[in-house]
Chains A and B, each alone.
Chain A
Amino acid sequence: MSGEHGQVSTRPVVDVHAIEEELAEVRWKLRPDGEMDEAAQHAAAEARANVLNLIVVVEDESGMEHVHRVLDGLSTHHPSRTLILLAQEERQAVKLEASVSAQTRTDSGHRVTTEQVLLHAHGQVAAHLASLVSPLLVPDLPVMLWWPGRPDFESQLFNELADLCDRLVVDTDDRGVEPGRDFPLLLNVARRRKARVAIGDFNWARLMPWRHLMAQFFDPPSVRSRLISAHGVTVWYGGEGSNAQALLLAGWVQSRLAAIGVPIPRELRYDPGLPHGVSRFMLYTGGEDGVSRFSIARAPGGRLTTQMRIGDQEQLGRTVAVAPRSADDLLAIELTIPGHDVLYEQALEAAVG
């Protein structure tokens, strides 16, 4: 009783009721006692457990493989209805096609069934795919929209999907995301008058160890009191791509300190020789016994080391191992967070300020 079983079916004509029936049939065939006589079929009421709806928008076929890999890693703990949209408005010939599949995994000891619908649209209808998504959502469950790459904020598709969903999951470290332009757009999504959408960001989850370690410096009350005299934050980053990570981290410190009435400036330092992402993170405070410096730096072997200097006293630092997070881990985290992440939204706001 372990492993997985899958069923797939493709239909060119798209009719919501046909898709639902097809899913029901595919699901039914996954039952261990799939071959039942008619009497048994009458007797069996089918039960299905689901925890969420997940909508994934993919811009072209090349993105599919990545998405499928991530989703495969998810299914055990998050039985869901997943709708994958391959929406290509710019392609000429009008096309609308659906294929459905269901997958059951028993490796956790329970039967967990995930249903998947792939909607592939070309032309004008691609902009209006939300009208097809809506009737396919399982009622009364949260709706997550995962948009790998930069969401097309201005598009009709994005805005209509945002109306449907409770949480938008992005990765601001993705190519194409420009913090200066896109952070404010993300904030707007989170603060829309109607249908406020919570934002999840893989990048935020990646920064979690940095945030934890920085916060831990200030656990002892004697150190915490220094926050009042904080006067600067510096983040070093490197490699190619955006500075979104560095900005978010600095924005986080700024917004936390602003919340206790201590506005501080930030400094971002770019070094092309460093690997991509944040390399070093420092917070400076004043105080009677001189300037203090709290620092976290990336060390070889995927570790982070901490250093604290109070006045001219160098304190003992420590080194912690940080396991890199895979995309399916990061997505799984996002899927279990309820509601708005206020700290993230404030960090985002400070980062664009």
Chain B
Amino acid sequence: MVIFGASGDLTARKLMPALYNLALNRYLPAGFSVIGVALTPWTEQEFKTHMSEAATKYSRTQPVDRSVWQSFAEGLHYVAMTFDDMDGYGKLAATLDRLDRERGTGGNRVFYFATLPQFFAVIVDRLGASGVARAGEGWKRIIVEKPFGHDLKSAQELNRAIHAVFTERQVYRIDHYLGKETVQNVMVFRFANGIFEPIWNRRYVDHMQITVAEDLGIERRGAYYEKAGALRDIFQNHLLQLLSIVAMEPPANFDAEVVRDEKVKVLRSIHPINVETDAVRGQYGPGWVAGEQVVGYRQEDQVAPDSKTETYVATRLFIDNWRWAETPFYLRTGKRLPNRASEIAIQFKKAPHLPFAKTAVQDTSPNLLVMRIQPHEGASLKIAAKIPGPVMRLRTVNMDFFYGSSFLIESPDAYERLVLDCMLGDPTLFAREDEVERAWTLVDGVEAGWAAQPPPALPNYAAGTWGPEAADALMERDGRRWRRP
């Protein structure tokens, strides 16, 4: 595996710990080697030291097993170069050849683009021009980090640049949400449990709410976030991915292309979003989150004091197909909300007839199924039950199921799963070209609509609250309310 951006944050926090844990669980093939590429003029030894520190600090399993690390670290190498330097690719090619000979890596290569998006096209181009992309035997694959473009045009350009060198089958676009066990569990939940599929449609489902809520602010990512905003940062990828998984037709089998075909069909069926009625943007002001006083977005580092960037988005979507016609899907994401929670909530319609006295059922709410992605992975089902006692009175009971309490079972990190899938040649959990482009088309539509409107007065929600009032109004107009996740 060649990591472009090996001295960066992602490599230290996610990639190295993932690779180490794969080694620990014996998932890595014999002779597996890593060549780190970045600008920092490290020696091979310095690279190993930094990676060892990263694994020690960020591994989900502790303590780090020294003997496993030692043998894994034997395969670590480093090439200092700039991404556009053709001589550097010569050095890289030589190192790869040497590893093929010495460690028997057989010409199989993963090129991991763990660097800033503006370099993706350059790296692809140089990999092609230097012949590294095709050299020798074995398969060649690339893993491309998010964000994949910042609008449809840039995504298409990047796809074009990539396809000049690699075919689509060689491209693995990361959406780390898809690597999460619980997202995969959503599919299992739907398609392995016969009881849900028959009611998974417009006839029984009143609406769905998909929430990706963060209690954190933008941390140190101000410069990036100013240009991105919540719509590009979360909606374009995570929210739309969750939507397509929860709304897609059952695939005939779990082959990557079959599953991705179904997902893309959902994205294609989404009705263009009318920003006047169906999209709300917000930005947080100062407030309190979890007992802590926090600053507003405009006071964050590297953020303009009059920034118009949105840190909150809520939308109402309709999917124009037989299964979902006229069923609203409400999607929202935001920073500095009261709670960290990623959830899909399916609100079923009221029971058609309630054979109880009117008073008994006054306040029972219809069934609600919630699939929790993080934290506290699991599902919960809201059902009506009788209050103990002689009178027929009903109330709501929540049955919560936890897939495994985090202190007991360490579920593998998304990156472990994704890196392994790539090495095994399974792209199911990666975004395909047409998925990415379709998602950008939707986002571009919203951006264009917003650009044509004066922005709302910002900030319009206090940190620690559930977003702007307009988002509540979006629901109330339909006689509905956002859940409290």
Contact = CB atoms under 8 A, between A and B. Distances in A.
Interface stretch (A43-51, A241-249, A279-287): A43-51
Given A50-B400, A139-B370, A338-B362, A14 B291 contact: yes
A336 B395 contact: yes
Contacts of A135: 215, 290, 338-340
Nearest to B388: A77
A181 interface: no
Interface in A152-203: 164
A142 B363 CA distance: 11
Contacts of B290: 14-16, 131-132, 135
B484 interface: yes
A64 interface: no
Nearest to A48: B400
Interface in B464-485: 464, 483-485
A125 B464 CA distance: 14
Counting chain A CB atoms within 10 Å of each CB, which of B289, B340, B398, B406 scores highest? Answer: B398
28 contacts: A14-B290, A14-B291, A16-B339, A17-B375, A20-B376, A24-B376, A24-B406, A25-B405, A41-B409, A42-B404, A45-B404, A46-B401, A48-B400, A51-B395, A77-B388, A124-B293, A131-B289, A131-B291, A131-B464, A135-B339, A137-B484, A140-B396, A140-B398, A141-B396, A336-B387, A338-B363, A338-B395, A339-B363
Given A20-B376, A131-B464, A142-B396, A125 B401 contact: no
Given A24-B406, A41-B404, A46-B401, 15 more contacts: A16-B215, A17-B340, A45-B378, A47-B401, A50-B397, A77-B388, A128-B291, A131-B288, A134-B338, A135-B215, A135-B290, A137-B484, A138-B400, A140-B382, A140-B483
Residue among B289, B290, B402 with the highest chain A CB neighbour number at 10 A: B290
Contact of B484 (A21, A49, A140, A338): A140
Contact of B338 (A121, A131, A336): A131
User: Which size bracket describes the interface of B in this complex?
Assistant: 35 or more
In this complex, the interface size class of chain A, counting residues with CB under 8 Å from chain B, is 35 or more
Nearest to B406: A21
A294 interface: no
B398 A50 contact: yes
Interface of A: 14-17, 20-21, 24-25, 28, 41-42, 45-51, 77, 96, 121, 124-125, 128-129, 131-132, 134-135, 137-142, 164, 336, 338-339
B322 interface: no
A68 B387 CA distance: 23
Contacts of A28: 405, 407-408
Contacts of B343: 139
A142 to B, nearest CB: 7
B399 interface: yes
A175 to B, nearest CB: 30
A77 B134 CA distance: 69
Nearest to A138: B398
A15 B375 CA distance: 14
Contact of A25 (B388, B393, B407): B407
Nearest to B339: A135
A198 to B, nearest CB: 10
Q: In this complex, which of A47, A132, A134 has the most chain B Cβ atoms within 10 angstroms of its Cβ?
A: A134
A132 B485 contact: no
A142 B395 CA distance: 10
B409 A42 contact: yes
A121 B399 CA distance: 31
B399 A47 contact: yes
Given A49-B398, A51-B397, A338-B362, A128 B380 contact: no
A96 B293 CA distance: 13
A125 B362 contact: no
A270 B20 CA distance: 80
Contacts of B393: 336
A141 B400 contact: no
A139 B290 CA distance: 16
Interface string B261-289: 00000000000000000000000000111
A302 to B, nearest CB: 23
B259 interface: no
A336 B364 CA distance: 12
A15 B363 CA distance: 34
Nearest to B402: A46
A25 B406 CA distance: 9
A24 B362 contact: no
Closest 8 CB pairs of A and B: A338-B363, A132-B291, A131-B288, A135-B339, A134-B338, A128-B288, A46-B402, A24-B405
A124 B293 CA distance: 10
Given A16-B290, A47-B401, A134-B338, A139 B388 contact: no
Nearest to A98: B291
Interface string B352-396: 000000000011100010100001101010100101100001011
Given A139-B380, A140-B368, A140-B484, A47 B362 contact: no
B403 interface: yes
Contact of B362 (A14, A17, A140, A339): A339
Contacts of A21: 405-407
A140 B395 CA distance: 12
A135 to B, nearest CB: 4
A47 B338 contact: no
A47 B406 contact: no
Given A14-B291, A28-B408, A139-B483, A51 B340 contact: no
Nearest to B400: A48
Interface string B399-436: 11111111111000000000000000000000000000
B400 A134 contact: no
Given A139-B370, A142-B396, A45 B484 contact: no
B293 A128 contact: yes
A28 B407 CA distance: 10
B403 A45 contact: yes
A137 to B, nearest CB: 7
Contacts of A51: 385, 395-398
A49 B399 contact: yes
Contacts of B287: 131
A50 to B, nearest CB: 5
A323 B363 CA distance: 29
Contacts of A24: 376, 402, 405-407
Contacts of B215: 16, 135
Nearest to B393: A336
Contacts of B289: 131
A138 B385 CA distance: 18
A27 to B, nearest CB: 8
A135 B400 CA distance: 16
Nearest to B360: A338
Contact of B370 (A50, A137, A140): A140
Contacts of A140: 368, 370, 380, 382, 396, 398, 483-484
A51 B344 CA distance: 21
B355 to A, nearest CB: 18
B31 to A, nearest CB: 31
Contacts of B291: 14, 96, 121, 125, 128-129, 131-132
Contacts of B408: 28, 41
